[in-house]
């Protein structure tokens, strides 16, 4: 079994890593979404296939998944990808200096949903506390779902946490609102062949004074480093983290796919 953080850190936050298929929440009423936080669309089933909520669905455009019991298309709604789950077969492989990675075991169509990034849903404050434990670890896995929620896949998580960075990726990370909760999924940006490694751009930013991380993606568009220099922001803003395949400088932050409700901050304010 692969150990992703030091034993001292693991003993503080839980047992050795194990696999889950859906997010698990660490208690707190703040995790309960408002009962009326459901975005209804006005789609009708007009497609010859008999399915609704295609590209013209307002919910899809806003990255809100439909709730089947309140969607005009009912069970014919196709805008429920994370709720229904992915059928794409993937595998975890050894990637030498880059640690481990994830490959597609079958062909994947462009724009197809590949899988969800899952882990323990915690508050941003708890994430900052855990970052102190993880700061000397070779590998740790955090992804911000919203301003208040972070997904920590270090000790519990799915295989999506092992997807490596590339400066010329074949996937992208998207945040969707699903029944009131922010969830993160990986989508193909082009046709992907069976046996091809899955990658996305971490869009990692390093604060002033922090060293950037050497990029090992090997693509033709490789930038050489993961980590564009970025000035620290105020203590009022929210820290963001991502799955990294190299040691993480203590003052580093990552911003995977900017989100209109997300802000970021160097971790120096919390360490």
CA distances from 174 to 16, 72, 114, 156 (A): 28, 25, 11, 21
Mean pLDDT of 93-116: 92
Q: Is the pLDDT of residue 7 over 90?
A: no
pLDDT at 114 over 50: yes
Q: Which residue did the predictor score with more confidence, 95 or 237?
A: 95
**Amino acid 168: pLDDT:** 93
CB 244 within 8 Å of CB 131: no
More confident residue, 89 or 250: 89
Average pLDDT of the segment spanning 202-206: 66
**Over residues 140-165, mean pLDDT:** 87
CATH number for the domain running over 7-32+85-270: 2.170.270.10
As a whole number of angstroms, the distance between CA 188 and CA 172 comes to 6
Mean pLDDT rounded to a whole number for the chain: 75
The structure tokens 């030498």 sit at 96
The b/e string for 147-175 (b: 16+ C-beta within 10 A; e otherwise) is ebbbbbbbbbbbbbbbbbbbbebbbebbb
pLDDT higher than 90, residue 189: yes
Residue 48 CB neighbours (<10 A): 5
pLDDT at 4: 39
Global pTM reads 0.73
Mean per-residue pLDDT for 36-64? Answer: 87
Residue ranges in 104-231 assigned as alpha helix (H): 124-134
Task: Delimit the domains of the chain by residue range.
Answer: 7-32+85-270, 42-78
| pLDDT reported for residue 186 | 96
* pLDDT tens-digit readout, 234-265: 433 333 333 333 333 322 333 333 333 322 32
């Amino acid at each position: 079994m692969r150990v992703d953080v030091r034993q001292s850190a693991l003993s503080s936050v839980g047992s050795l890593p194990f696999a889950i298929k859906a997010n698990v929440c660490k208690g707190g009423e703040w995790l309960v979404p408002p009962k009326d936080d459901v975005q209804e669309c006005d789609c009708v089933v007009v497609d010859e296939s008999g399915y609704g909520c295609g590209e013209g669905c307002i919910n899809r455009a806003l990255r809100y998944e439909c709730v089947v019991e309140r969607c005009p298309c009912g069970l014919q709604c196709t805008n429920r990808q994370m709720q229904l789950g992915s059928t794409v077969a993937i595998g975890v492989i050894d990637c030498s200096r880059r640690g481990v990675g994830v490959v597609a075991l079958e062909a994947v169509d462009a724009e197809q949903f590949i899988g969800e990034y899952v882990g323990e849903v915690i508050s941003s404050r708890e994430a900052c506390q855990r970052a102190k434990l993880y700061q000397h670890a070779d590998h740790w896995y955090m992804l911000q779902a919203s301003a208040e929620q972070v997904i920590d896949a270090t000790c519990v998580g799915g295989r999506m946490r092992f997807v490596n960075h590339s400066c010329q990726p074949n996937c992208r990370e998207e945040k969707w609102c699903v029944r009131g909760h922010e969830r993160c999924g990986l989508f193909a940006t082009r046709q992907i062949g069976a046996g091809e490694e899955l990658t996305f751009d971490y869009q990692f930013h390093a604060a002033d004074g922090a060293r950037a991380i050497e990029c090992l993606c090997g693509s033709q568009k490789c930038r050489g480093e993961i980590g564009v220099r970025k000035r620290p922001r105020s203590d009022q803003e929210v820290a963001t983290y991502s799955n990294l395949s190299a040691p993480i400088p203590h003052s580093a932050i990552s911003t995977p796919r900017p989100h209109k409700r997300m802000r970021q901050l160097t971790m120096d304010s919390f360490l």
